[in-house]
Amino acid sequence: MPTVEVADLKDDDFLLDVREDEEWEAGHAAGALHIPMSEFVARYGELTEAAPQDGRVHVICRSGGRSAQVAMYLGRQGVDAVNVAGGMQVWEAMGRPVVTDAGVPGAVV
């Protein structure tokens, strides 16, 4: 499973957050696309519309388990996708910004 460390992510990397709605609402990375894993297959078209044409999709969840599953699925669809190791827990621990939809500081739950 291709994996990338949070420290290696650049600000303009495409980030797909697959956590559930209540997790997203508590706090997320600004600019990430949110498609919960439980709705992913039904909403796959949203990813294909938003993702860079020939770019990489960095998949993140809370700790890395769900995002690994989605990244593997995407790989089987021919998408260049990688799992973000440690997920939003590591993102927050490294001091990366976590915001709510209102743009105020959020938290990882």
- Cβ-Cβ contacts under 8 Å for 49 (sequence gap 6 or more): none
* Interatomic CA distance for residues 109 and 95, integer angstroms: 15
Q: Can you state the percent helix, strand and coil of the chain, rounding each to 5? A: 35, 15, 50
Catalytic, 61? Answer yes
- From 96, 89, 94, 77, select the one nearest 13 (Cα to Cα): 96
Residue of 32, 51, 61, 82 marked catalytic: 61
> Phi, psi (5° rounding) for residue 80?
-80, 95
Catalytic residues: 61
